[in-house]
């Protein structure tokens, strides 16, 4: 089944001043769009066009003959998840069920924030930082390049894109500043709670 490039869930300028409209235009309209196009072409060529993108991610992970398909499938999925992980006026400490779970599993919001920032800033090169459910427990993990928690048997709740194209126009080489802005001002905790409720 063809995977359509989703519209952003907000206007291009909705996340300013933390992420500029120019960054979102390039990131969504160029990078994300290219992953979606390549995924659709490659899944068709691989005879997997009838499968969901999640099924393709699981089936192609660690298969060297399908590494290109995996990379484009995972990146198409990851970016959609990333857009939904943010909102205008977001960030700060969560409320609801995820707040309780962060307290019990990670030692509270401050510990979560420290772990997440470390995961995002210590990821060498391109990749992602995630809050996941792994066997019923919340964990903070990072993954290289396109790898996402679905391929690893985990349930993603939140992600931050730390590929350079996610922040370089706005922050240049200051990835920690971008991650701090994400944590303090952009996280969509309503979305995180929805993902946890569905896990």
Same domain, residue pair 103 and 72: no
135 and 77 within one domain: no
Q: How far apart are CA 194 and CA 80, in angstroms?
A: 15
pLDDT at 30: 96
Digit-by-digit pLDDT tens for the chain (199 residues) are 688 999 999 999 999 999 999 999 999 999 999 999 999 999 999 999 999 999 999 999 999 999 999 999 999 999 999 999 999 999 999 999 999 999 999 999 999 999 999 999 999 999 999 999 999 999 999 999 999 999 999 999 999 999 999 999 999 999 999 999 999 999 999 999 999 999 8
Question: What is the pLDDT, as a whole number, of residue 93?
Answer: 96
**In this structure, are 126 and 102 located in the same domain?**
yes
Task: Tell me: do 104 and 76 sit in the same domain.
Answer: no
Q: Using CA atoms, how far apart are residues 186 and 180, in angstroms rounded to an integer?
A: 10
Give the model's pLDDT for residue 1.
Answer: 64
Tell me the C-alpha distance between 8 and 150, whole Å. 22
In this prediction, residue 103 carries a pLDDT of: 97
Within a domain: 173? yes
Three-state DSSP state, 192 = helix
Whether residue 73 is found in the same domain as residue 138: no
The tally of domains found in the chain comes to 2
User: Both 184 and 107 in a single domain?
Assistant: yes
Closest CA to 178 of 190, 158, 164: 164
CA distance 41 to 95: 41
Same domain for 133 and 51, yes or no, is no
Residue 75 belongs to what domain range? 21-84
**What pLDDT shows up at residue 133?**
97
Burial of 111 (0-12, 13-18, 19+ CB in 10 A): middle
Please name the helix (run of DSSP H) or strand (run of DSSP E) that holds residue 98, with its range, or none.
Answer: helix 97-106
Q: CA dist 186 to 16, 17, 147, 173, 199, Å? A: 10, 11, 23, 20, 22
Task: Please report, for the domain that includes residue 120, its CATH number.
Answer: 3.55.40.20
Residue 59 corresponds to which tokens in the numbers above? 């089936």
- In this prediction, residue 199 carries a pLDDT of 83
CA distance 104 to 75: 31
3-class DSSP state of 106? helix
Q: Are 80 and 101 found together in one domain?
A: no
Cis omega (within 30 of 0) on the bond before 17? yes
Residue that is last in its domain, among 84, 110, 127: 84
Q: Is residue 175 part of a domain?
A: yes
Are residues 183 and 128 part of one domain? yes
CA dihedral of residues 104, 79, 122, 145 (deg, nearest 10):
130
Sole residue written with tokens 């946890």: 196
pTM of the prediction?
Answer: 0.96
CATH number at residue 52: 1.10.287.990
Same domain, 102 and 79: no
Are 137 and 77 contained in the same domain? no
Indicate whether 101 and 165 sit together in one domain: yes
């Amino acid at each position: 089944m063809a995977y359509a490039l989703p519209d952003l869930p907000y206007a291009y300028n909705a996340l300013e001043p933390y992420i500029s409209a120019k960054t979102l235009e390039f990131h969504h309209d160029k990078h994300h769009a290219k992953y979606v196009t390549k995924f659709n072409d490659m899944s068709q060529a691989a005879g997997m066009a009838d499968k969901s993108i999640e099924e393709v991610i699981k089936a192609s992970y660690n298969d060297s003959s399908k590494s290109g398909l995996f990379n484009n499938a995972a990146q198409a999925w990851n970016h959609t998840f990333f857009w939904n992980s943010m909102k205008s006026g977001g960030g700060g400490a969560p409320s609801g069920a995820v707040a309780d779970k962060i307290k019990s599993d990670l030692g509270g919001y401050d510990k979560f924030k420290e772990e997440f920032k470390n995961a995002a800033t210590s990821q060498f090169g391109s990749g992602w930082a995630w809050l996941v459910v792994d066997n019923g427990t919340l964990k903070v993990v990072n993954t290289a390049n396109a790898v996402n928690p679905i391929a690893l048997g985990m349930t993603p709740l939140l992600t931050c894109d730390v590929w350079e194209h996610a922040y370089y126009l706005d922050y240049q080489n200051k990835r920690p500043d971008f991650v701090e802005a994400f944590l303090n001002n952009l996280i969509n905790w309503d979305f995180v709670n929805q993902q946890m409720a569905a896990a």
